[in-house]
Amino acid sequence: MAGTMIIDGQRVGFDKEKNILDVIRKAGIDLPTFCYHSELSIYGACRMCMVEDERGRTMAACSTPPRDGMIVKTNTPKLQKYRRMVLELILSNHDRDCTVCEKNGRCKLQELAARFSIKNIRFGPLCKQLPVDESSASIVRNPNKCIMCGDCVRMCEEVQGIGVLGFAYRGSKIKVTTAFERPIAEVECVNCGQCAAVCPTGALVVKNETSKVWDVLNDKNKRVVAQIAPAVRVALGEEFGLKPGEIVTGKIVAALRKLGFDEIYDTGMAADLTVMEESREFMGKLEKEENLPLFTSCCPAWVKHVEDKYPQLLKNLSTCKSPQQIFGALIKEHYKKIDEAQGKETVVVSVMPCTAKKYEAARPEYRNNGIPDVDVVITTQELALMIKQAGIVFNELEPESLDMPFGLASGAGLIFGVTGGVAEAVIRRCLKEKNPGALKEISFSGVRGMEGIKEAAINIDGREIKVAVVHGLGNASKLISSILAGEKRYDFVEVMACPGGCIGGAGQPIPQSSLVKMQRAKGLYDVDRSSQIKRSEENPIIMALYSGLLSEKRYLLHRYLHHQK
């Protein structure tokens, strides 16, 4: 419904906006909210978004649809008083140790308390201190900082389709917790971190592991090797005020060298190996018509979800390790003898857009005699923090290039960071036609874009291959239901747990709008377009590895096979 409203005396047209909050924001007014996220359902609990109509009635803007001719004010004395009271009440029960809080400086509650000049809190706390849950490899949950906005609950339930968190008890005893208040590492949490990405306070944060990185950087006996995931290079700049999607690979390399990393490589190189192995696996399964569709396995949150919820599909899951784990296994193998000779120890640090990668690196199958293939995983945000801690002025860095040999990735390996990228890379490998027209055709086949469930049909060797691409585990569950019910049939299914794919990972700077993810996606496609090597099999490093280090050690690239060596 279209119409016009009057907001603070200003005429504002509306069209598709479902609530007056969106109309007010469109008018350039930054109405405060805690519990509103455009991609989640309306909850209407925090009452920060109250507005007043011409008769002095107040209403929550997030839960009021716009009407033609509506008149509202957003900043009356009554509303100001109201908002301060809400903040004061929230803060009265809040663990207010801001200076040592992980969310310090990025906290919505802190920001609004400052904005509304809360100086004095007249009420005492009602609740006693509850234990902090540090069981997860990826996220830390501090219930003492929870303001009950329910954002995490709705994110996990509505977008991820899991429902790890929920409200329990009632009245003053109400809390957000897991089923039976179990530690979060012991429930069906997949470590995607999306709950932490929407939490306005320090109640849910990504585990900070920067101190581990500083420790190894300051240890002369360690060879510290960094790998940078594709999605990091199109988002890190946002932490320094650059445009979303701006490609800052060169600056990241320069920053990592300044921080003291010995070698800096590209996870995209390892993604090329994933493409090679997954394509071979796929063609094999296609020929035998067994265990189709083949599901991708590079997203650790998705892998855990299959283990928890769809064990019957484990046989359909690709056995390929994720690029992160391939990289770790490869580097450790590469330096094994050299380390022994030099009396050094190689440490692999991943820079990832993802919180689940922390969990993946800690999984027992990725250890060799107790030594993990990947030692520490930090997120894009954590790297930005380290750069700031070191006083490096990021924007003034001269771009530098990645190290060789493991710093060379094909365009196919780099689009791994966006939904549809893995499918596209694998199709490029499987398709016999290698001309530019074929590349274009794949990119227009339906694998690209931000719709939750995408489908494509590609002709390979005269056979029509049905491909599905999903992002967000809620969408994955929908797709799987239709596959299990026999309504849909596919040959290849790509799943990424985070909306948008890795570019939307919870370790990335928190996007201010849905546009941000599209800009980051464009950044990665730009990287691909301008790279000389488009296909994984054309990457000379990959060729060299297969005839060298990997010639007898292909097991390094697979999850289960390495037990059989």
Partner 1 sequence: MNTTIIYGKVDQILNRYGNKKSALIAVLQEVQKEYHYLPQEVLSYIGDKMGISRARIFGVATFYENFSLEPKGKYVIKICDGTACHVKKSIPILNALRKELGLNENKRTTDDMMFTVETVSCLGACGLAPVITINDKVYPKMTPEAAIRLVKEIREANRLED
Binding site for ligand SF4 (CB under 6 A): 139, 146-152, 155-156, 160, 162, 164-165, 176, 189-195, 198-201, 203-204
Choices 5-13, 156-164, 219-227, 291-299 (CB under 8 A): range interacting with partner 1: 156-164
Does residue 34 interact with ligand FES by CB under 6 A? yes
3-state secondary structure at position 398: coil
Does residue 33 interact with ligand FES by CB under 6 A? yes
Distance between CA atoms of residues 311 and 308, nearest Å? 7
Question: Which residues are CB-contacts of 509 (< 8 A; sequence separation ≥ 6)?
Answer: 235, 236, 238, 239, 380, 381, 384
> Mask 160-179, x = binds partner 1 (CB under 8 A)?
--xxxxxxxxx------xxx
Q: List the interface residues with partner 1, window 18-57 (CB under 8 A).
A: none
Closest CB 493 distance from partner 1, rounded Å: 22
Does residue 127 interact with partner 1 by CB under 8 A? no
Choices 38-46, 222-230, 255-263, 368-376 (CB under 6 A): range interacting with ligand FES: 38-46
Q: What are phi and psi of 501, to 5 degrees?
A: 90, -165
Closest CB 97 distance from ligand FES, rounded Å: 25
Nearest to 397 by CA among 378, 412, 384: 384
The pairing of beta strand 376-379 with beta strand 50-53: unpaired
Nearest to 449 by CA among 474, 482, 476, 424: 424
Closest CB 184 distance from partner 1, rounded Å: 11
Choices 73-81, 181-189, 233-241, 294-302 (CB under 8 A): range interacting with partner 1: 181-189
Half-sphere exposure of 402 (CA within 13 A, CB side): 21
Does residue 157 interact with partner 1 by CB under 8 A? yes
With CB cut-offs between 5 and 8 Å by kind, which of ligand FES, partner 1, ligand SF4, none does residue 139 bind?
ligand SF4
Distance between CA atoms of residues 410 and 268, nearest Å? 7
Residues annotated as part of the active site: 278, 281, 298, 318, 357, 360, 365, 502
3-state secondary structure at position 238: helix
Ramachandran sector of residue 471 (left: φ over 0; alpha: ψ -120 to 50; beta: rest): beta
Distance between CA atoms of residues 437 and 538, nearest Å? 17
With CB cut-offs between 5 and 8 Å by kind, which of ligand FES, ligand SF4, partner 1, none does residue 179 bind?
partner 1
Closest CB 163 distance from partner 1, rounded Å: 2
Distance between CA atoms of residues 417 and 440, nearest Å? 19
Closest CB 314 distance from partner 1, rounded Å: 18
With CB cut-offs between 5 and 8 Å by kind, which of ligand FES, partner 1, ligand SF4, none does residue 194 bind?
ligand SF4
Contact 415, 528 (CB under 8 A): yes
Question: Which residues are CB-contacts of 193 (< 8 A; sequence separation ≥ 6)?
Answer: 138, 139, 206, 354, 355, 356, 505, 506, 507
Does residue 296 interact with ligand FES by CB under 6 A? no
Distance between CA atoms of residues 417 and 230, nearest Å? 5
Distance between CA atoms of residues 246 and 306, nearest Å? 34
Does residue 533 interact with ligand FES by CB under 6 A? no
Task: State which residue, 165 or 387, has the beta carbon closest to ligand SF4.
Answer: 165
Nearest to 521 by CA among 320, 291, 300, 231: 231
Does residue 198 interact with ligand FES by CB under 6 A? no
Closest CB 167 distance from partner 1, rounded Å: 5
Does residue 60 interact with ligand FES by CB under 6 A? yes
Choices 44-52, 302-310, 370-378, 543-551 (CB under 6 A): range interacting with ligand FES: 44-52
Does residue 49 interact with ligand FES by CB under 6 A? yes
Closest CB 108 distance from ligand FES, rounded Å: 11
Does residue 155 interact with ligand FES by CB under 6 A? no
Does residue 187 interact with partner 1 by CB under 8 A? yes
Contact 477, 172 (CB under 8 A): no
Does residue 18 interact with ligand FES by CB under 6 A? no
With CB cut-offs between 5 and 8 Å by kind, which of ligand FES, ligand SF4, partner 1, none does residue 189 bind?
ligand SF4
Closest CB 173 distance from partner 1, rounded Å: 9
- 77 prior amide bond cis, ω within 30: no
Question: Which residues are CB-contacts of 451 (< 8 A; sequence separation ≥ 6)?
Answer: none
To the nearest 10 degrees (0 to 180), the angle between helices 473-484 and 300-309 is: 40
With CB cut-offs between 5 and 8 Å by kind, which of ligand SF4, ligand FES, partner 1, none does residue 273 bind?
none
Where on the chain is the footprint of ligand FES (CB under 6 A)?
33-36, 44-49, 60, 62
Where on the chain is the footprint of partner 1 (CB under 8 A)?
153, 157, 162-170, 177-181, 187-188
